[in-house]
Amino acid sequence: MTHSYNVAILGATGAVGSELVQLLEERDFPIKTLKLLASSRSAGKQISFKGKAIAIESVTAESFDGIDIVLASAGGSISKEWAATIVKAGALMIDNSSAFRMDNAVPLIVPEVNPEAAKTHQGIIANPNCTTILMSVALWPLQQIQPIRRIVVATYQSASGAGAAAMAEVKQQAQAILNGEKPPTKSFPYPLAFNLFPHNTPINDQGYCEEEMKMVNETRKIFGAPNLRISATCIRVPVLRAHSEAVNLEFEQPFPVAEAREAIQAAAGVQLVEDWNANYFPMPIDASGENDVLVGRIRQDISHPMGLELWLCGDQIRKGAALNAVQIAELVVAKSWLKTPATV
């Protein structure tokens, strides 16, 4: 008999939380009960799951009693606030925030890349940053053939990365600008419609923002390559959903383009999208709603004999967040890694 699990979503009303509900149904995750948790202002609202209406509940200390898996997507401060309670209740917390990603005791998992690391969890597994996940899935097939020496990446990040309110705001901004009015700026410090700007996270002494350093540090941890040289430039662009990345890679030896294409085509979680005659390559509009990361425009770097260039697009809310979390849940139940070694 197939096991079923008591699952809770912490932050069920946000963009990622809503996607988690949809994916659990879409992928037919073996759920016994589903509990939807959010702030008190959302309590009582209902969300449909498999044809039934489930009422949203406020989070309390008793919310996690009897729960097997908590999919947390309510922000770092909320995750930190409830993590100890969740683990003490015997549940596994799969956390979508940055709260525990660089904690040495917490595995940081992309199932296509480092699934085995998940079994070492002590009650918490971290979901990486969206841009890190998308890049990791695309580069891992190449990393397995020939270790990457250096990554230089520029991201083109959609409004979805800042949540549902930010996506709505970009639409409002576009309408306001077209009407000759001043655009509203609540989710972002500047208008994003018809504009772009560097990612609005704090900047360190070296001039790199927090988002860029997430890509550096998280990729090293996921790849198990602490000395991998990475430089990132993260940019917000006026796209509603799905992030894009231009990636320049350096290897120890030349990496034939044909071999790279074959590796991408054979890998899980990625699709090769290239029509050179039509100049058709991955686009956010095509990646939106898709589970796979779209990769294309793979070419030799003409400035470096050991260099490759590629372009990728991926749905930030799906593979960049909710899907990766659900895949982690699928992994731990399939491998019977749900409980920590001390509680098995």
- Annotated catalytic residues are 130, 243
Tell me the pairing of strands 307-314 and 293-300.
antiparallel
Distance CA 10, CA 33 (A): 14
Tell me the pairing of strands 148-157 and 52-55.
unpaired
Produce one character per residue of 23-51: b if its CB has 16 or more CB atoms within 10 Å, e if not.
Answer: bbeeeebebeebbbbbeeebeeeebebee
Backbone angles phi, psi at 329, to 5 degrees: -60, -45
The CA distances from residue 204 to 209, 212, 230, 288, in Å, are: 6, 10, 16, 32
The CA distances from residue 134 to 15, 143, 241, 271, 311, in Å, are: 18, 14, 14, 12, 11
Distance CA 85, CA 82 (A): 5
Backbone angles phi, psi at 229, to 5 degrees: -85, 120
Q: Give CA 109 to chain center in angstroms.
A: 10
Question: 168, 171, 112, 116: which is closest to 144 by C-alpha?
Answer: 112
Question: 113, 114, 109: which is closest to 95 by C-alpha?
Answer: 109
Per-position DSSP letters for 102-144, written without gaps between them: T-TTS-B--TTT-GGGGGG-SSEEEPPPHHHHHHHHHHHHHHH
**Which distant-in-sequence residues (6+ apart) come within 8 Å of 147 by Cβ?**
225, 251, 252
**Which distant-in-sequence residues (6+ apart) come within 8 Å of 26 by Cβ?**
none
